[in-house]
Chains A and B, each alone.
Chain A
């Protein structure tokens, strides 16, 4: 992923030199003015026709690469479209991409690079939660608006900072809470959970356990799988025989192995199986060995297969990104997308556009206004800009909440059987980022 390096010619050097002079002066005396200097200088020079620079932090390599590829395609498509339609506040978007290797330390460095070398207006697109958590503090310190597309509960939980938003995808806590009533009502009440043994999986464990208990159900067993695991069969015997529903969620390069081995283990003689489609993102449902999934259920944030209820918005979005009706690339039907996550990039870009335009943002000096404008948002309606559907936005938690889907595997395709309401995923907490200083 080549970042497009700044091409403002001699200006960049000028900035550097000026801020350097400022620094020397400041060091002699007023140390506190120091950090503001570069931003201030930039603001003075900002021109209304100059591009808005967006830093796109992408997992091109490492365990998040499959997601990264599709996040990139979605983002490129949205940026192209926005620029065709006149850009943001009349200014074109200049996208600067940097790979973070799905590594938290590198993630933090990438945020720094965006802030101080590329001097972007805003950073977005991070997915894996350990990378978000590694990079978010740097974003906060650099006062760099940081719009993640991670579905982790880390934003809404209040553990990050005022500069971090997740306006394009619902968090895990809300997702799993909204699944519990349907699972308890349709599949069974004794649930065994299989999940990755780190924070993302723990969010599933903690909030689903609570939600199913609230429905009068219970957890039969918890099977945490270490992140380094590459073989899963040995875990399946721990599933109690009186389990009514297996709840699985898996990520990383091992997902296909995981579902295949589950199929080999159970064959047709299985309990009800409910999975988060994370276990199948970028995986072809028609892969050999997955036949047993027939009749099982999946959570989807955005239905991979265009069904009878497909909205015009989804159709538009699908076409622009280059995804066919089966959720695969139009140029290669074997190249399956991460359809339930990548819409987040698209929608986030439109939230960014809306926030920039609403705040009258001109340059980095207006970042506070940009943050406040984003916090002032309350929701988005289903549209070409928000093809996944309506969403509420909680400005205190910096988190959006949308509809979720439950799909059944039928004829090696996923068809939607249920759509949750936004209220199904509501929960209480007292996160309020607006109390933090800017």
Chain B
């Protein structure tokens, strides 16, 4: 294939990856920004979203469109409830102490993943896209659903932006993020805000999982990749900044798309991971908001 179409395809792939990644990483970023905890189980919420999408769409086997609509509403709700439970049963009891929380969310990762293995089984199962058509470019064809996924992810990002910057909840959230004690003193129900933010973060991951599942398949081990990529994005983008997260998602998504088309994808991943480690060491400001403790 010639360079032009080649680049176009890389760009398209990168854009799809970037949008879905942005939604996933936004969830991680919100949770870190407001609660100052690193949620290692974030990828499992993504996986749960995909698995629940399989379950919900299979309830309406003859109506893929409505099945998918059910999934896009239902899956995040269920995942949100699981997250609220995890917050109440585990994280709150640890008083959100950063290192203990990481260990606990590692535990949560295994619990969720293995619970899905028990209930859902070890197989990868496909979900039919709500609308499937194929876009034929002069040089290659492309999945139409991918454009739908881009659109849906863009809507979600817009909604998230509106929610954080223009609503009362967003204001309360930012106040809590800015100074937990003061917010509490001003009557902000911090516990409730934390539970809500944790659930919101999980729901964003779940939505990303629902969006991706017609492209991949629901499988109990699918959470690790989005987790690592979200880490990379959130760290490079800067943890306190939604804009930074989204920007970084695009940089990572598109550059990964391009690099892995022209070079070895494994090499691309090695470079990205090392870059993240170095960014975290040498440019921690705006990443972990100054000192991490």
Contacts and interface: CB of A to CB of B under 8 A. Distances in A.
A267 B141 contact: yes
B225 A236 contact: no
B285 interface: no
B109 to A, nearest CB: 16
A69 B266 CA distance: 31
- Counting contact residues on chain A (CB < 8 A from B), the size range is 35 or more
A429 to B, nearest CB: 30
A228 B13 CA distance: 17
Contacts of A437: none
A377 to B, nearest CB: 35
Contacts of B215: 231, 257
Nearest to A268: B141
Interface stretch (A59-67, A81-89, A381-389): A59-67
Interface string B211-243: 000011101011001000000000000000000
Contact of A266 (B123, B141, B257, B265): B141
A257 B140 CA distance: 17
Contacts, number: 89
Contacts of A231: 13, 17, 215-216
Given A66-B123, A253-B219, A261-B143, A237 B9 contact: yes
Interface in A223-263: 226, 228-231, 233-239, 241, 253-254, 256-257, 261
A257 B213 CA distance: 10
Given A256-B124, A287-B126, A237 B222 contact: no
A17 interface: no
A235 B124 CA distance: 22
B5 interface: yes
A241 B134 CA distance: 21
A241 B136 CA distance: 17
Given A65-B121, A253-B221, A237 B216 contact: no
Contacts of A61: 117, 122
A389 B162 CA distance: 66
A239 B139 CA distance: 12
Contacts of B5: 237
B1 A237 contact: yes
Nearest to B118: A61
Contacts of B6: 237
Contacts of A282: 123
B122 A65 contact: yes
Interface in A376-425: none
Contacts of B141: 264-267, 269
Interface residues of B, number: 35
Centre residue among B5, B10, B122 by max chain A CB count within 10 A: B122
A224 to B, nearest CB: 8
B225 A230 contact: yes
Contact of B217 (A65, A236, A257, A288): A257
B136 A234 contact: no
A241 B3 CA distance: 12
Given A62-B122, A267-B141, A233 B13 contact: yes
A289 interface: yes
B9 A234 contact: yes
A253 B218 CA distance: 9
Contacts of B257: 234
Interface string B248-267: 00000000010011001110
A288 B136 CA distance: 18
Interface string A284-296: 0001110000000
Given A65-B123, A236-B9, 13 more contacts: A62-B221, A66-B123, A66-B124, A68-B122, A226-B265, A230-B225, A235-B261, A237-B1, A237-B140, A253-B219, A256-B124, A267-B136, A287-B126
Closest 3 pairs between A and B when the two form their complex, measured CB to CB? A65-B122, A253-B124, A267-B141
25 contacts: A61-B117, A61-B122, A65-B121, A66-B124, A197-B266, A226-B264, A228-B225, A230-B222, A231-B13, A231-B216, A234-B10, A234-B261, A236-B9, A237-B140, A238-B1, A253-B123, A253-B217, A253-B221, A257-B216, A257-B217, A264-B143, A265-B140, A265-B142, A267-B134, A267-B136
